[in-house]
Structure 1
Amino acid sequence: MNPAIKTKTRRLIILCSIALFIFLLGLNSNVVESVYSGGLYPLTSVAQRFISSLFPFAVGDFLYLFLIGYCLWSVFKAIRNFKVPGQRILIPLQLINFILILYIVFKLLWGLNYSRPSISGQLGISHQKYTTKDLVQLGDFLIGKVNNIKGQIQSAGTKKEAGITELESKSKYAYDKLARINPFFRYRVPAVKPVLLDWIITKTGIEGYYSPPSGEANVNMRLPPVGLPFVTCHEISHELGVAREDEANLVGYLVSINSPDLNFQYSGYYNILRSVLLEIRIKSPEDFAILYKKINEGTLADFHLEQEFWKKYNSEMSGYMGSAFDQFLKINNQPKGRDSYQDIVLWVFNLYNQPGHSPLIPAQNKTLQP
């Protein structure tokens, strides 16, 4: 046997064994939580963020560009050498080994967090179903909060625009505040960066993302200012090992509404209100019409601004990306795909509805009455 093929085959066996072990580990959520999410990951992620925080740019974006460049170079090299004796066996072996390495690295750096137990369960939030009446009451409450905070912002003349440094520092402060209630929110060595290719990212409909290679939370700073605080808190939750998008929305909501900054509070309530109104519009168009009339003009202007923003940037490409992301979620223990984003409505309802209310909810909010 060709020595090169023999070496690649031996490497394939080793990589397959490691990948299989990681896969089997992921089948037991309690083991993942104790060994990985609560053990190894907090150490490796802090180390990643420490390194990334030394650079003012998104390190992960450059790593992705390097990976793309390496893949293109490898494809060119494979095509050029395909007719060389032995390469028809060697090239597929190299490809499989490369894919296995990517799988192993992804799972060890972050991906195993998809297999951890429910974050909502760890935070003591029940899954009690709500009625349409409950949903309308929740929407009414959120509109009251949004109207009140928007009025305070307008009266105080508080600026909405914030740079990435301010978003990072204020998010860190809000996380530290909640960490005094629940250590789950402990956020060490922050690393929040603006996305590198923001025009392309915006065209694909992405507001932000977590970068496993660098441990960074990446925020699309092209977004309308109203969404940036919530998106930042959401992406930081991924740094803490919250892998599932629905649960990252939950954490982002809790952190933003507990911030002393009015713009953070508004961003949190505003973003969840959108999800609640979407569901109300589907289940009860009549109630939606009544609630919509209660929303203040400033918030309606924010809705319109966002709508125009996405109309300007988001093309059919976002649909393709949405379909791809949908499949990605489904193969990572989120069988409902992008529909899981709406689970936030269930959890927010239960946050306010459970007996005694959650300590994670600000004291002045412990009622569904606006």
Structure 2
Amino acid sequence: MPEGSPPTRDVMTGIRLATAVALAAACPLLALLFSQPDLQAVFFPGYRRFSRALMSALADVTSVVPFAVWDWLLAGLAVAAIATLARRIRRHQRVLPWFSVVALIVAATAFLGTAGWALNHYAPRLSQDLGLEVGQHSEDQLASATSHYLDQAASRAALVPREEDGTLSQQDFYELARIAGASYAPLAQRCETFSGSTAPVKSLLLLGEPLLFSGHTGIFWAATAEPGVPPNTATAELPFTMCHEAAHRLGIASEEEANFSAFLACSASDDVRLSYSGYYSAFNYCANALFAEDPERARQVILEALAGENGTGVALVMQDRSATRAHYQAYEGPFEDVGTTVNDAYLKSFGERAGVRSYGLVVDYLLAWLDE
């Protein structure tokens, strides 16, 4: 090759492949580095501030539209990749250059998500930031918490917009998305952990339904800093789910801590739809845990609440619980098992040893909150 001439296509393909390999290899190496207890004190809270600033900057760019940019971008790239591959095969052209471009895009996205956000999985516990003593609980404590959160949800149940038959009215998704996106602003005044972007939560217009079939009701896409929720999420859980995904954007990566953060944001909100959803979700987590430990006692807690002075509100909560369960039953199937397995592997790869079970560990936080 004459001196000064442009690199050949083979050289460019090699550069792309080498860069993709380097970026992909950097992801587990960074995770290994940040997982070392002796080094975590060095990396945090500096990394969290960096991550929060990066996510805020990206959110400022992507918030120009109310739907998730990555949702459409991913679909567009997939179509483009398939079309260009088919054309290369039809023209009997080499596939390796095509593969090098795809590998580079995938690796760069993974690296941005890992280096820019996912390492928050190794951050200090939220309980440390809030001064909470989170530990094991007794069955009596769990039963008491279940009763408390049910009572709080029941006191708000009749205030939420409903149809004549008592079912929850469908709400404007984008209105709730704006409220949920800014829901951590009051908490940020008391705790820096909750500071960050207040951009609206995004709707998943293309991949929302497939996400529900995978057994998930939301996702945070770090490469574009977009917390996304399917529009068809169950009405009772929608505000809570939005706040959960918004918590991830603040660098709260742990699922149990994102759940607890969502509860804090919802319960502190002046909007009764968020407040109800927060207490409703807290009750569900506690009730599910109590049913797992002592089904008869769980039923007794609910029956006593139904017979109490707030029985009408309790009945509405239980109606919403049944409606939510029925709503998601339509999405059950083999694809849900695949989605759960993939998510479980992802969570465990970043130190969440409980995997998908970590979503339910929020109960320990909810009990500790009552002890304050």
* Bin for the TM-score computed over the shorter chain: 0.7 to 0.9
Q: Structure 2 vs 1, CA of residues 63 and 94 (structure 1 numbering), >3 Å: closer, same or farther?
A: closer
Partner of residue 180, structure 2: 171
Contact 1:174 1:260 in 2 (8 A): no
Distance 2:152 2:11 in 1: 69
1:328 is the counterpart of 2:346: yes
Residue 264 of structure 1, aligned match among 265, 274, 277 = 274
User: How many aligned residue pairs are there?
Assistant: 349
1:273 is the counterpart of 2:291: no
The TM-score normalised by the length of structure 2 is 0.82
Give the % identical residues: 20
1:22 is the counterpart of 2:30: yes
| 1:310 Cα deviation from its structure 2 partner | 1.2
Residue 183 of structure 1, aligned match among 189, 192, 214 = 192
After TM superposition, the structure 1 stretch with the greater mean CA deviation from structure 2, 51-60 or 103-112, is 103-112
After TM superposition, the structure 1 stretch with the greater mean CA deviation from structure 2, 201-210 or 45-54, is 201-210
Q: Structure 2 vs 1, CA of residues 9 and 67 (structure 1 numbering), >3 Å: closer, same or farther?
A: closer
Q: Which amino acid aligns with 1:119?
A: L
Distance 2:17 2:158 in 1: 66
| 1:18 Cα deviation from its structure 2 partner | 5.0
Residue 339 of structure 1, aligned match among 357, 363, 371 = 357
Q: Structure 2 vs 1, CA of residues 10 and 327 (structure 1 numbering), >3 Å: closer, same or farther?
A: closer
Distance 2:59 2:20 in 1: 31
Distance 1:283 1:100 in 2: 43
| 1:66 Cα deviation from its structure 2 partner | 3.3
| 1:13 Cα deviation from its structure 2 partner | 7.5
Q: Structure 2 vs 1, CA of residues 31 and 320 (structure 1 numbering), >3 Å: closer, same or farther?
A: same
- The residue matched to 2:45 in structure 1 has which SS? helix
Contact 2:240 2:263 in 1 (8 A): yes
The one-character-per-residue Cα deviations of 1:287-332 (angstroms, maximum 9, x if unpaired) are 1120122252111111111121112233321122111111111111
- The residue matched to 1:313 in structure 2 has which SS? coil
Residue 129 of structure 1, aligned match among 125, 136, 139 = 136
Partner of residue 365, structure 1: none
The one-character-per-residue Cα deviations of 1:35-66 (angstroms, maximum 9, x if unpaired) are 3212x212211111111111232212122223
Partner of residue 36, structure 1: 47
Residue 146 of structure 1, aligned match among 122, 144, 153 = 153
Q: Which amino acid aligns with 1:191?
A: P
Q: Structure 2 vs 1, CA of residues 78 and 15 (structure 1 numbering), >3 Å: closer, same or farther?
A: farther
The TM-score normalised by the length of structure 1 is 0.82
- The residue matched to 2:190 in structure 1 has which SS? coil
| 1:73 Cα deviation from its structure 2 partner | 5.4
